[in-house]
Amino acid sequence: MEKIINYTLNSCKKCMKCLRACPTEAISINRGKVVINKENCILCDACVRACSSRGLQAKGATLDTMSKYDYTVALIPTALLSDSSNQAEIETWLSAIKKIGFDEVVDISDITGAIYKFGQRYMSETDIPLAISSTCPVINRLIKVKYPMLLSSILPFEYPVEVAAKLVRKRLAGKYKKVGIYSLCECIAKLSLAKHPYGNMESNIDYAVAITDIFPLINRLKDGSREECHFCKEGIHAVVHDFYDLGLEKKDVLAVDGLDKVQQVLELAEFENLKNIRLLSLYACPNGCIGGRFLWGNPYVGRVFIERYFKTADKPIAELEFEDIFKLPETIYHGEVDMKAQMQQFLKVNQQLDLLPGYDCGACGYPSCRAMAKEIVAGNATIGECKILKSEVKE
């Protein structure tokens, strides 16, 4: 799979903002260019936001592939509601999206709502002490990279957009020779949930498209016509962080948005310091999915807009079986954590760290001395690359 976030400039200014912003220390600077370790990158886009030169970018697929399909479907994220102030406006947007050339526009709020309800059912039927509910790839990758002890706490559900794509394929099977499914994405992380452009070949989604990339085209195609649509209240609950517990019977739920706060909560969970909480609902973006980078509004006004849809949201949750949504994604879960191997790795890193000055100055191109120590252990760096140690030797 290709890297989703790429460095696009010829020369880095070495302002170090991206290094400091990255929560998993996945970024280094090598020979004047930013290098992203895709194994540690969680697609949070903190580096993209931090880069004042706009040298870090992520682009989705284009729409020039639509002609090769007999039937095309656009999957619409529930978070798109936050960019429309009323029902008429969202129906105008959906009509414009369909005019691009899609045969069908599918709202996935009923799928999101069904998974939301399955989470409630799963908690009532199991004795799991703490569960983590997240339809956010950023959160799941963050847990994998930094908090592997919590991997088994992630609810074993597929992403709603992937479930929606699978059901669309099932419904259209035999009716058309080639069906093309396009996911319109509200954030960088969702681009990874498709075959193109980043190579998730197990997905039922053919192409992931950033909504902002096609916004100018959609805006031009708006002509006042409307595509009738209905939305699921439970689906809305699931994508806005402070709406999450509205539809749940129990109140031992903690919903948290923003990476800084999420990491604080995960650290508490890792050391079993959330005794009164049974379910964590975590969102990387501010206010939840409505804070996605590819939406053109802002999540604060958007939260006001999306609250209005509660008055008319009458679409029932999708009728799904547990088998329709159950999955332990290979990209998230890799079985039991090998604590012995992790401890050995930890000791090796600490041995190298003891040899480094501990200034975390970033002069070597790594965000911290610990990050450099990890790369030394991995064989990707040598202790001789430390600028401080070099200067001390010269003196």
Summarize pLDDT for 296-312 with one digit per residue, the tens. 888 999 999 998 888 78
For 206-258, write each residue's pLDDT tens digit: 999 999 999 999 999 999 999 999 999 999 999 999 898 877 766 689 999 99
Query: What confidence score (pLDDT) does residue 149 get?
Result: 86
User: Residue 249 has what pLDDT?
Assistant: 64
Looking at 325, 359, 378, the residue that finishes a domain is 325
Mean pLDDT of the chain: 90
pLDDT class for 107, splitting at 50, 70, 90? very high
**In a shared domain, residues 169 and 294:** yes
Provide the pairing of β-strand 27-30 with 33-36. antiparallel
Same domain, 221 and 125: yes
Q: Is the per-residue pLDDT at 183 higher than 90?
A: yes
Return phi, psi of residue 45, to 5°. 65, 15
What pLDDT sits at residue 152? 86
pLDDT on residue 394:
58
Is 195 found in the same domain as 101? yes
Q: Are residues 79 and 130 in the same domain?
A: yes
Domains identified in the chain, total number: 3
Does residue 345 or residue 113 have the better pLDDT? Answer: 113
Helix (H, G, I), strand (E, B) or coil at 203: coil
DSSP alpha helices (H): ranges in 51-158?
87-99, 109-125, 137-146
Do you find a cis peptide bond into 197, omega within 30 degrees of 0? yes
Same domain, 93 and 181: yes
Q: For residue 329, what pLDDT is reported? A: 45
State the CB neighbour count (10 A cutoff) for residue 297. Answer: 15
Within-domain flag for 11: yes
Report the C-alpha gap between 343 and 148 in whole angstroms: 13
Q: What is the pLDDT of residues 120-171, one digit of tens each?
A: 888 888 888 899 988 899 999 999 999 988 988 999 899 999 999 999 999 9
Residue 351 has pLDDT above 80, yes or no: yes
Dihedral pair phi/psi, residue 77, rounded to 5°: -70, 145
The Cα–Cα gap between 45 and 308 comes to 29
Residues 50, 89, single domain; the answer is: no
| pLDDT over 70 (residue 66) | yes
Q: Cα–chain-centroid distance for residue 92?
A: 27
Note the pLDDT of residue 334: 44
Q: Does residue 71 share a domain with residue 52? A: no
pTM of the model: 0.89
Same domain, 157 and 27: no
**Do 89 and 306 contact (CB within 8 A), yes or no?**
no
Tell me how far the alpha carbon of residue 347 is from its chain's centroid.
32
Q: Are residues 126 and 197 in the same domain?
A: yes
Q: Find the domain containing 170 and state its range.
A: 66-325
Q: Which amino acid is at 202?
A: E
| CA 108 – CA 105 distance, rounded (Å) | 10
Whole-angstrom Cα distance, residue 84 to residue 89?
6
Query: In sequence order, what are the residues at sequence separation of 6 or more whose Cβ sits closer than 8 angstroms to the Cβ of residue 289?
Result: 77, 78, 79, 135, 136, 186, 187, 239, 240, 283
Q: Among 325, 355, 386, give the residue marking a domain's end.
A: 325
Same domain, 287 and 175: yes
pLDDT at 338: 61
353 shares a domain with 250: no
Of 14, 33, 58, which residue sits at a domain end?
58
Helices (H) and strands (E) in the chain, counts: 14, 11
Q: Residue 101 half-sphere exposure, CB side, CA atoms within 13 Å? A: 15
**Contact between 373 and 353 (Cβ < 8 Å):** yes
Whole-angstrom distance, CA of residue 342 vs CA of residue 354: 18
Q: Does residue 333 carry a pLDDT above 50?
A: no
Do 274 and 381 lie in one domain? The reply is no
Identity of the highest mean pLDDT range in 13-27, 89-103, 357-371: 89-103
What is the rounded CA–CA span in Å between residue 82 and residue 308?
10
